[in-house]
Chain A
Amino acid sequence: MQYLVSVIDDKSNPGSTDRRPAISAFNERLIAEGYWVFAGGLASPGTATVIDNRGEQAVFSDGPFVESKEYLAGVWVWEAPDLDVALKLAAEASKVCDRKVEVRPFQ
């Protein structure tokens, strides 16, 4: 079972910025224990471009699709046998990156 783990940051109360070494160590462990599928940190929401090509021609607009105080700062994809395993890892992940995380199963 695969889970998307979204790291949520808060503009008004950002998490600490010195987490990279801890995150790397945590990723090493995820790989060693067979949970790791993918991980990536994202540039700020302001760098996003929204594309809508449902009409006659593609329309590009500057900025994220939704403006909010909280935003997606990075993602993991994990392979885990069930939600209990994913939640346990997610609790560690939240500590490690000093941010809230959301766990959501893939279909």
Chain B
Amino acid sequence: MSDVEKAITRAHHEEWVRVIAALTRRFGDLDIAEEAAAEAFATAVERWPADGVPPNPGAWLTTTANRKAIDRIRRENKRDDKHKEAQMVYDDDPPEPPGAIDDERLRLIFTCCHPALAMETRVALTLRMVGGLTVPEIARAFLAAESAIRQRITRAKAKIKAARIPYRVPAAEDLPARVTSVLAVLYLTFNEGYLATGPDTDPVRHDLTAEAIRLTRLIRALLPQDGEVAGLLALMLLTEARRTARVSASGELVAFNEQDRGAWDAALIAEGHRLVRERLAAAAAGVAPGRYQILAAINAVHTSARDVRDTDWSQVLALYDQLVRLDPSPIIALNRAIAVAELDGPQVALAIVDRLAEALAGYHAYHATRADLLRRLGQSQQSRAAYDRAIELAGNTGETAYLTRRRDQLQ
């Protein structure tokens, strides 16, 4: 990748959401913001190689996008004067005092995660607008067709505009209800960053995980007493702490039990553990933990062990049992089976995993888990077939490399 290409990629990661947020605030229209931002980045791709990278790429992009947006509004106003009214800024909140949550991103995310939009739409819209993912990347993350994602985003933008979904952080009394939706979206965003999809994509997209953590911290500042917000933040921190140990020098994903624990980020782990302890105290006082808190607790058990043999698997399994009662989804059952394998052996775990065949046939981790259990049981031929299927379905470059090596090591 040339220096200019690198600069454009970096600008996209760092500036996309800022450009979108600034334009949405100014023009009150997500569609105009998205189109103008995309055009500005396309112009950068065209111009920067010849003109050089501007000294302040963010300012250049915002200015260019603003100009594109104004051009479009002028074009449309000529066609139809009624558009003028629709394109007026409708955020008439007084400017917030410094120190208040004045982050434009937060407004943007609450709009994208509005409960009047379908859950799948919220995630797609947030990944596009806040995460800056392209439609093909979102389609891969969802195992959905690009046309379906594009249509979903287009419809959402039209609804936000026509029904006047506001561009602002909800009032305090509405926050707890609204935040559940935001957390689900942030968790999916984090996961897409932690196991990025796309043949030309880095295995871990730190920009997405960092953005998800940043936004979760903002939400926590907004709702410090909310257990699930704390739980999700802890879960992200304890996962992010292992990021550098998770990819080898050759870009291959390193399995959890093979990671160099010395390379884990001690500060992030300490912060994550602190949050988990805070929630354990609340649970002891009778506040039932939600799924993020339980997942965070599972990760706290893992990150407390000096090495994998040291792991308190019965504690992990007990937490998974608690989680299954809360969320009986097949993916949770699959992860629970991994703990079962450590306690009761791969044969017992395989029986559990095989029962999930129908629900998870299209999910790469189902086949990867099966492949590993079959390998441990010495059933090489079946293991190989399962690895083949997992490799076919895996969208992450590092994971594909890891699975391929494991398959080729089979006797």
Give A contacts to B, CB under 8 Å.
1, 3, 81-84, 87-88, 103-105, 107
Contact B162 A107 (CB under 8 A): yes
Chain B nearest CB from A91 CB (Å) reads 10
Contact A105 B116 (CB under 8 A): no
Contact A82 B162 (CB under 8 A): no
- A82 vs B174: C-alpha distance in the bound complex, in angstroms? 15
Which B residues are in CB contact (< 8 Å) with A87?
Answer: 115-116
B142 in the interface (beta carbon within 8 A): no
- A1 vs B166: C-alpha distance in the bound complex, in angstroms? 12
Which A residues are in CB contact (< 8 Å) with B90?
Answer: 82
Of all A-B residue pairs in the complex, the 5 with the closest CB atoms, nearest first, are A82-B166, A105-B163, A82-B164, A83-B163, A83-B165
The B325-361 residues at the A interface (CB cut-off 8 A) are: none
- Chain A proximity mask over B108-121: 1 for CB below 8 Å, otherwise 0: 00000011100000
Please give me the residue from chain B that is nearest to A107 by CB atom: B162
- A88 vs B114: C-alpha distance in the bound complex, in angstroms? 13
Chain B nearest CB from A77 CB (Å) reads 15
The one of A3, A83, A103 in contact with B166, judged by C-beta atoms closer than 8 angstroms, is A83
B57 in the interface (beta carbon within 8 A): no
The B134-182 residues at the A interface (CB cut-off 8 A) are: 162-166, 170, 174
Of A82, A105, A107, chain B has the most CB atoms within 10 Å of the CB of A82
Which A residues are in CB contact (< 8 Å) with B164?
Answer: 1, 81-83, 105
Contact A84 B170 (CB under 8 A): yes
Chain B nearest CB from A76 CB (Å) reads 16
Additional pairs, 6, CB under 8 Å, beyond known A83-B116, A84-B165: A82-B166, A83-B114, A83-B166, A87-B115, A103-B163, A104-B163
- Chain A proximity mask over B98-128: 1 for CB below 8 Å, otherwise 0: 0000000000000000111000000000000
Contact B162 A84 (CB under 8 A): no
16 example contacts (A-B, Cβ-Cβ < 8 A) are as follows: A1-B164, A3-B163, A82-B90, A82-B164, A82-B166, A83-B116, A83-B163, A83-B165, A83-B166, A84-B166, A84-B170, A88-B174, A104-B163, A105-B162, A105-B164, A107-B162
Give B contacts to A, CB under 8 Å.
90, 114-116, 162-166, 170, 174
- A1 vs B115: C-alpha distance in the bound complex, in angstroms? 19
- A82 vs B166: C-alpha distance in the bound complex, in angstroms? 6
- A1 vs B162: C-alpha distance in the bound complex, in angstroms? 10
- A83 vs B163: C-alpha distance in the bound complex, in angstroms? 6
Which B residues are in CB contact (< 8 Å) with A104?
Answer: 163
Contact B163 A84 (CB under 8 A): no
Please give me the residue from chain A that is nearest to B171 by CB atom: A84
Chain B nearest CB from A95 CB (Å) reads 16
Chain A nearest CB from B89 CB (Å) reads 13
- A105 vs B86: C-alpha distance in the bound complex, in angstroms? 13
Which A residues are in CB contact (< 8 Å) with B174?
Answer: 84, 88
- A3 vs B164: C-alpha distance in the bound complex, in angstroms? 10
- A3 vs B162: C-alpha distance in the bound complex, in angstroms? 10
Which B residues are in CB contact (< 8 Å) with A107?
Answer: 162
Chain A nearest CB from B247 CB (Å) reads 42
- A99 vs B163: C-alpha distance in the bound complex, in angstroms? 22
Please give me the residue from chain B that is nearest to A84 by CB atom: B166
- A5 vs B90: C-alpha distance in the bound complex, in angstroms? 22
Which B residues are in CB contact (< 8 Å) with A103?
Answer: 163
Please give me the residue from chain B that is nearest to A105 by CB atom: B163
Of B115, B162, B164, B170, chain A has the most CB atoms within 10 Å of the CB of B164
- A1 vs B174: C-alpha distance in the bound complex, in angstroms? 21
- A84 vs B165: C-alpha distance in the bound complex, in angstroms? 7
Please give me the residue from chain B that is nearest to A88 by CB atom: B174
- A103 vs B115: C-alpha distance in the bound complex, in angstroms? 13
Which B residues are in CB contact (< 8 Å) with A81?
Answer: 164, 166
Chain B nearest CB from A24 CB (Å) reads 26
- A93 vs B333: C-alpha distance in the bound complex, in angstroms? 41
- A1 vs B164: C-alpha distance in the bound complex, in angstroms? 8
Chain A nearest CB from B174 CB (Å) reads 7
Which A residues are in CB contact (< 8 Å) with B116?
Answer: 83, 87
Which B residues are in CB contact (< 8 Å) with A105?
Answer: 162-164
Chain A nearest CB from B76 CB (Å) reads 16
Chain B nearest CB from A32 CB (Å) reads 20
Of A83, A87, A88, A105, chain B has the most CB atoms within 10 Å of the CB of A83
- A103 vs B163: C-alpha distance in the bound complex, in angstroms? 9
- A73 vs B116: C-alpha distance in the bound complex, in angstroms? 23
Chain A nearest CB from B86 CB (Å) reads 10
Chain A nearest CB from B406 CB (Å) reads 50
- A87 vs B170: C-alpha distance in the bound complex, in angstroms? 13
Chain A nearest CB from B125 CB (Å) reads 15
